[in-house]
Amino acid sequence: MYKIVKAKELTTNIYLMDVEAPRVAKYCEPGQFVIVRMDEEGERIPLTICDYDREKETVTIVFQTVGAGTKMMAELKEGDSFHDFVGPLGCPSELVNETPEALKAKKILFVAGGVGAAPVYPQVKWLHEHGVAADVIVGSKTKDLLILEKEMESVAGNLYVTTDDGSYGRSGMVTQVIKDLVAEGKQYDLCVAIGPMIMMKFVCLLTKELNIPTIVSLNPIMVDGTGMCGACRVTVGSEVKFACVDGPEFDGHKVNFDEAMRRQQMYKTDEGKAILKLEEGDTHHGGCGHCE
C-alpha cells in the first residue's frame, strides 16, 4: 500500500497529492509518469510525476477530475492509501541526458497549458538545480484555474502568466505570448510544450514557422499506460509510436495531432474502439503487436 501523506485541492477539480513511494522516488526523472489504482479492481490511471523528494521517499502527483476514477481519487484524504503506485514509467525528458554546460548554452522556453503546468514544473526545477534558467509561459482559461504559480516562479528564469479571459497576467492564448516574446527580441533554441492537445498543436504550428525545435508530451492521450490498449497510438513522422512506452515526449513538429485527437475522441466509445481496431490491424496495440 502507498500512503498519501498530503492531499489538497489546488483549484476547482484539480488536486495535488504527495504519496509515499520509495522505489519510484529513488529512480524517477522529470518527464516520467506513474500508474495508480485505488484497489484491486480499480481503474488504472496514468499520471505524470509533478515532483519527487528522494530523501522523504515521496512522489507528487497532480490530477484533474475528468471521469469516475479521478472523481473517486479526489475523495481520498491524507492517511489513505493507493493499492498500486507503479513507476517510474515512460522515458525521461531528453534534457536530463545533456550536460549542464550544454544546457546553459541553450535558450529554452517551456509552455504549459492548464494542468500541463504539473509535468512542466519538474523539468524546470531540475534545470534550475543544475544552474540553467529557462523561460516559462503558463496559461489557463481563468485566474481561478491557474496552478503552481508560486512554485514555478521560484525555479523559472522568467515566468509569463496569461489567461484566456484576461482575468490575470497577460490576456490571450500562450501562442500570443510566444509571438510577443519573439517580437521583443527573445530567441530560443528549444521549446517544450505540455498541455491540452489542441494547445500543443497550435504551439507547434507557430514554433515551426519560427524555426524553434519543439518537444511535446503526449500524456493526455494515455489510458492503459503499457502500450497494450492502443489508446495512445500516434504517428510521429512516418512511424507509429505509443506515447506510454515510446514517449511521452516527442518531436512536436513531426506529431500528427489531427490523427491523435481523432483517435482520442473515438476511443471514448466501444464502437469507436472497434473501428480503430479494424482500421489499424496489427499496429493497433504497442507491446503485443496484435489484438486479442
- What CA–CA distance (Å, rounded) separates 231 from 235? 12
pLDDT band at 106 (very low <50, low <70, confident <90, very high): very high
The pTM of this model reads: 0.85
262-270 mean pLDDT: 62
| DSSP state letters, 156-201 | -SEEEEEETTSSSSEES-HHHHHHHHHHTT---SEEEEES-HHHHH
Q: Contact 184/206 with Cβ under 8 angstroms? A: no
* Domains parsed from the chain with CATH numbers: 2-89 (2.40.30.10), 94-217 (3.40.50.80), 220-292 (no CATH)
Q: What is the pLDDT of residue 292?
A: 43
pLDDT tens digits along 53-83: 999 999 999 999 888 888 989 999 999 999 9
Number of H helices, E strands in the chain: 10, 16
Cell of 219: 500524456
| Whether residue 22 has pLDDT greater than 70 | yes
pLDDT tens digits along 146-166: 999 999 999 999 999 999 999
273-291 mean pLDDT: 53
Cell of 142: 481563468
SS3 146: coil
Q: What is the pLDDT of residue 244?
A: 81
Pick the residue with more confidence: 292 or 228? 228
